[in-house]
Copies of this chain bind each other. A is one copy, B any other.
Amino acid sequence: MKKTRVGIEGGAGFAGGELIRLLLGHPRVEIAAATSRTFPGQPVFLAHPNLRGRTDLAFTRKLDYKRLDCLFLAGSHGDAMGNVPAILAEAGPRLRIIDLSGDFRLRDAAQYPRWYTREHKAPGLLKKFAYGLVELNRAEIAKARWVANPGCFATATALALGPLAKGGARGVAAVTAVTGSSGSGASPSAITHHPTRHDNLRAYKPFAHQHAPEVEQILERLAGGRTLELSLIPVSGPFVRGIYAVCQVELPKGWTEKKVQDLYRDVYKDSAFVRLVPEPPSLNAVNGSNHCDVFVAVSQGRIGVISAIDNLVKGASGQAVQNLNVMMGWDETEGLGHAGHYP
């Protein structure tokens, strides 16, 4: 079997490290090269000490796009929109691209200044990227060459709310979602300073997080129109991995608990990575794996949906590999079948 050659732009970040870890175990893939501005020429294990002895790969400064079958972009937000046109010019449009940044998630270029504080640099490409949330958009991804990998908050929240949107629920979804510190990346900053992050919870960007519009976009598509509005308060949590999203929606008139539960079973019946669980989920049951655990409760006219993912796997690199699998027509779980570590 000839292996698919993949390249990784931005391989020294946390998402890059998880991509390399997962792809090293993928039977159909060969990592051609991974770049790093910080570690060019140095072994990958300097940035990712878990990979010492697992790979001799060294970071390069540049990729030879023409020799790649698929390119993962795991750099900073704002890089991809600037680089993709030149990359495609060099490699030709046949190159598959999976972008882990936010640069190609929103269809409407006009939203970028508001949510990402910058004008979009390649607005013409926006509609050509499929939104890579496999469980809610599998068919489009299967036909795509270019995929925008969802944000971590967006993944947890959209998987929690998608079936309700599809079923036609209306109104406001009030969501509190707590994130681990790895979502802030590999560079130290005030919000990841251990003495003040540890033992702390701190909300930020209330009603203003940039992952909100991509959730509303996919919910709108599922609903066939704007029906469910997202009201999101993100919280920084004192752990490394995970997104834990707690969602509340008013039970639509005439709906029963059975109808709600059936919606979820129906939407996720062919999705190996979404596990509908009978008790509220635990982060440590999904961490290290590509699973999203989803719990649904209905009581006194309210629907509560709680979802849990590993932000670096299902919320980033695992989902990127899942998108590759779907694009290539492989089994969706290829290279992702391992369980997470527990406890």
Interface set of A (CB-CB < 8 Å, partner B) = 14, 17, 21, 24-25, 48-54, 172, 174, 176, 178, 180-182, 184, 186-190, 192-204, 206-208, 231, 233, 235, 237-242, 244, 246, 248, 250, 272, 275, 277, 280-289, 291, 293, 295, 297, 299-300, 302, 304, 306, 308, 337-343
Contact = CB atoms under 8 A, between A and B. Distances in A.
B195 A195 contact: no
Contacts of A186: 193, 195
Given A199-B199, A204-B280, A207-B297, A17 B49 contact: no
Q: Which one of A174, A208, A237 has the greatest number of beta carbons of chain B within 10 Å?
A: A174
A339 B21 contact: yes
A339 B283 contact: no
A338 B275 CA distance: 24
A250 B51 CA distance: 33
Contacts of A193: 186-188, 192-194
B338 A285 contact: no
Given A282-B200, A308-B201, A194 B240 contact: yes
B299 A50 contact: no
Given A181-B198, A188-B188, A198-B239, 20 more contacts: A24-B339, A49-B282, A50-B339, A180-B195, A187-B193, A188-B189, A192-B193, A192-B194, A193-B193, A194-B194, A195-B343, A196-B343, A198-B240, A198-B343, A199-B284, A200-B239, A206-B306, A207-B299, A238-B239, A241-B343
A186 to B, nearest CB: 7
B341 A338 contact: no
A53 B188 contact: no
A91 to B, nearest CB: 29
Contacts of A238: 198, 237-239
A234 to B, nearest CB: 10
A248 B288 CA distance: 32
Instruction: List the 8 closest pairs (A to B, CB-CB), nearest first.
Output: A49-B285, A203-B280, A176-B176, A174-B174, A50-B342, A181-B194, A207-B299, A174-B248
A59 B305 CA distance: 30
Contacts of A190: 188
A190 B238 CA distance: 17
Given A52-B275, A231-B302, A239-B198, A338 B25 contact: yes
Nearest to A342: B50
A282 B200 CA distance: 6
A200 B180 CA distance: 10
Nearest to A308: B201
Contact of A231 (B199, B248, B288): B248
